[in-house]
A = this chain, B = another copy of it.
Amino acid sequence: MKDLLIRSATEADFNAMWDIFHTHVAEGETYAFEPGISREEGYDYWFAPRASTFVAVQTLAPHDRRGRERVLGMCKLQPNQVGRGAHVANASYMVSPYAQGVGIGHMLGEHSIGEARRLGYLAMQFNYVVSTNEVAIHLWKRLGFAIVGTLPKAYRHRRLGYVDAYVMYRLLDDPARWPLPEPAPEEDD
């Protein structure tokens, strides 16, 4: 798909993001949220205090009546844990149902890996990939993630009932190059 770019998301993007979000949530096959979620909760999810949020937009010709850009997907990066786990990034992604299969998920995935490195993260983790979401699993494997855990029956799929979820993970750098631990404490204290 041509004229695609990824940039930081702003509040002005949220209408379009909410449309995408709500469609996925209604489907009930990939994310934990349920249709009753409010717009405010959706906003707080995508623009969480410590999150870096990005949108994939298609730039449109100036004569296009819908405006100069169209949001086709989004992702966010944030620490998966506080403090002693804050070197691992967590990320979430959604692609518009009208733009599936054209590589936007792949673009967002690559972008988020680059941003995570730039922000100093050492690893990335997805906590809750629905095991029946084969497109996503295939994509994350292509981008270097491995399934490192299986959560039995942890996702209540709208059509299929309870199905497993996966934890997926990748290092962003060779741990031999990671920072050293803190100076040895005074063991005599």
Q: Which residues of A approach B to under 8 Å, CB–CB? A: 28, 31-34, 37, 80-88, 122-123, 125, 127-128, 148-162, 165, 167, 169, 171, 175, 178, 180-182, 184-185
Interchain CB contact (< 8 A) of A149 among B148, B156, B159, B184: B148
Report which of B84, B125, B171 forms a contact with A155, defined as CB distance below 8 A: B84
If A32-B83, A160-B181 touch, does A125 touch B153 (CB 8 Å cutoff)?
Answer: no
Measured in the bound complex, the distance between the Cα atoms of B79 and A33 in whole Å is: 13
* Contact residue among B85, B150, B180 (Cβ-Cβ distance under 8 Å from A165): B85
Contact of A88 (CB < 8 Å), options: B82, B154, B160: B154
- Asked whether A149 and B149 contact (CB < 8 A) given A32-B82, A185-B158, the answer is yes
Q: CB distance A149 to B167 under 8 Å?
A: yes
Smallest Cβ distance from A187 to chain B, in angstroms?
9
Given A32-B84, A85-B156, A161-B180, 11 new contacts (CB under 8 A): A31-B84, A32-B82, A37-B82, A37-B83, A84-B157, A88-B154, A125-B151, A148-B151, A152-B175, A158-B181, A162-B175
Contact between chains at B184 and A159 (CB < 8 Å): yes
Which B residues are CB-close (under 8 A) to A123?
A: 152-154
By a CB distance below 8 angstroms, the chain B residues around A80 are 154
